[in-house]
């Protein structure tokens, strides 16, 4: 333990001595200066790894004009969703990439528009963060034009119609279409959906995919079968009475959390899944396999989404694109996972 404490107290000069180089060479390595031979750079970093030496962040930022700190912003409008498993897994992916690439992470949450404005002034306006990841947002969130106007390096976790926005998302429309077409192939024609918040593009895309599937099979779209929701379990439970009044034989829920609430509501009404109503969700969070019956769902790579959002932001920071270059926009694939809740495994 004493040896470790002495390592943590090493100075730049002592690192240089152990690596057999000058103090200025160690400084150039720490600050990512290009004029250092690869062999020397690796030798210095090996000493740093072996000793646990920590470069002084404030001094380094004065040289590089970077803090090696990025932020994850959870906008006020989606703050209520933070407790859902999606965000925990998304943040795990972001954290993993930051750790690999030796960046620090700061999480910002808001409970009011005023709080969001204050954060922008205090944190982003001061240059404390190198860049930010915005973890989903309504399409009309004022944060988006503010970030674009101020030319802050940032990435959105979610599709956005503005061609200037760097984003990464999954194919929400295709996933929803796959889920509903699966139910149609099982013989269902009265398929309800519990949708997500109407201002969020992921919810809009999943509702679009639901409608596309019905149209592809020439099944009329019945507005009575489209129930508003909010991506949460409580929202799913609250929607169940309206669902049952429309007499569907199957339900596509916009998230697994919503599907869990629908399942609860169906049982409280004295009915069973899938015997009376088939059920499909979206996300494939761990909850999906713990439900009884296990939930058929659309698997999206949530941790990969977070990891790739972080990678994209760090790539932009370390290799700034040329002025006028197109934004980076990526769509990840999804997959249908068939379990017992849709009734397919009973046939």
pLDDT number for residue 102: 87
Q: 227 and 264 share a domain?
A: yes
Please report how many Cα atoms fall inside a 13 Å half-sphere around the Cα of residue 282, on the Cβ side. 32
The pair of structure tokens assigned to 345 is 């495994």
What is the per-residue pLDDT for 67?
A: 77
Cα dist. 52→9, 97, 204 in Å?
A: 9, 20, 48
Q: Give the predicted TM-score (pTM) of the model.
A: 0.78
Say yes or no: 197 and 165 in one domain.
no
**What phi and psi, each to the nearest 5 degrees, are found at residue 228?**
-65, 145
- The domain boundary, picked from 64, 81, 98, lies at 64
Q: How many helices (H) and strands (E) does the chain have?
A: 14, 12
Domain count, the chain: 3
Question: The tokens of 332 are what?
Answer: 């990840």
The pLDDT value recorded for residue 4 is: 40
Residue 207 neighbours by CB under 8 Å, 6+ apart: 176, 193, 195, 196, 226, 254
197 and 292 inside one domain: yes
Beta pairing class for 104-109 and 69-74: parallel
278 & 179 share domain: yes
Most distant CA pair in the chain: distance in Å?
78
Structural domain boundaries enclosing 21: 2-64
Q: Are 288 and 311 in the same domain? A: no
127 and 37 housed in the same domain: no
Contact 159, 137 (CB under 8 A): no
319 and 268 in a single domain? The answer is no
Residue pointed to by tokens 């519990």:
194
Residue 198 sits in the same domain as residue 340:
yes
Residues 198 and 341 in one domain: yes
Q: CATH number for the domain including 10? A: 1.10.260.40
Question: Is the domain of 238 the same as that of 312?
Answer: no
For residue 125, the domain's CATH number is: 3.40.50.2300
**Do residue 317 and residue 293 come from a single domain?**
no
Give me the residue label for tokens 């129930």: 227
pLDDT of residue 227: 96
| Residue 215 and residue 340 share a domain | yes
User: Which one of 64, 84, 108 terminates a domain?
Assistant: 64
pLDDT one digit per residue (tens) for the chain, 347 residues: 333 433 345 677 788 888 899 878 887 777 666 678 888 888 888 887 787 766 555 445 444 456 788 989 887 655 666 667 888 899 999 999 999 998 999 887 766 777 767 777 766 666 678 899 998 888 888 888 888 888 889 999 999 999 999 999 999 999 999 999 999 999 999 999 999 999 899 999 999 999 999 999 999 999 999 999 999 999 999 999 899 999 999 999 999 999 999 999 999 999 999 999 999 999 999 999 999 999 999 999 999 999 999 999 999 998 888 877 899 999 999 999 999 999 987 54
Domain end point (choices 46, 64, 82): 64
């Amino acid at each position: 333990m004493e040896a470790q404490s002495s390592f943590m107290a090493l100075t730049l000069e002592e690192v240089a001595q152990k690596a057999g180089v000058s103090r200025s060479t160690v400084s150039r390595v720490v600050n990512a200066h290009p004029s250092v031979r690869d062999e020397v750079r690796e030798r210095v970093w090996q000493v740093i790894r072996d000793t646990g030496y920590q470069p002084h962040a404030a001094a380094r930022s004065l040289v590089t004009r970077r803090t090696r700190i990025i932020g994850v912003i959870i906008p006020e409008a989606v703050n209520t969703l933070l407790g859902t498993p999606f965000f925990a897994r998304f943040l795990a992916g972001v954290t993993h990439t930051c750790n690999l690439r030796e960046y620090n992470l700061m999480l910002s949450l808001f409970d009011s528009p005023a709080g969001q404005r204050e954060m922008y002034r205090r944190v982003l306006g001061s240059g404390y963060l190198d860049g930010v990841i915005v973890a989903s947002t309504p399409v009309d969130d004022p944060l988006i034009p503010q970030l674009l106007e101020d030319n802050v390096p940032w990435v959105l976790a979610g599709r956005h119609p503005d061609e200037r926005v760097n984003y990464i998302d999954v194919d929400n429309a295709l996933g929803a279409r796959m889920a509903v077409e699966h139910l149609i192939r099982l013989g269902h024609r009265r398929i309800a959906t519990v949708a997500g918040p109407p201002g969020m593009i992921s919810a809009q895309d999943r509702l679009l995919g639901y409608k596309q599937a019905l149209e592809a099979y020439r099944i009329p779209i019945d507005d009575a079968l489209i129930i508003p929701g909010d991506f949460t379990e409580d929202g799913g439970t609250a929607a169940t009475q309206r669902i049952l009044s429309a007499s569907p034989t199957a339900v596509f829920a916009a998230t697994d959390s919503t599907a869990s609430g629908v399942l609860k509501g169906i049982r409280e009404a004295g009915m069973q899944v899938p015997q009376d109503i088939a059920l499909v969700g979206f996300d494939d969070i761990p909850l999906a396999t713990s439900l009884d019956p296990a939930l058929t769902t659309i698997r999206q790579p949530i941790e990969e989404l977070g990891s790739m959002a972080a990678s994209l932001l760090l790539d932009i920071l370390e290799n700034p694109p040329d002025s006028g270059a197109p934004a980076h926009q990526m769509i990840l694939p999804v997959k249908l996972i068939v379990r017992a809740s849709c009734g397919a495994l009973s046939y």
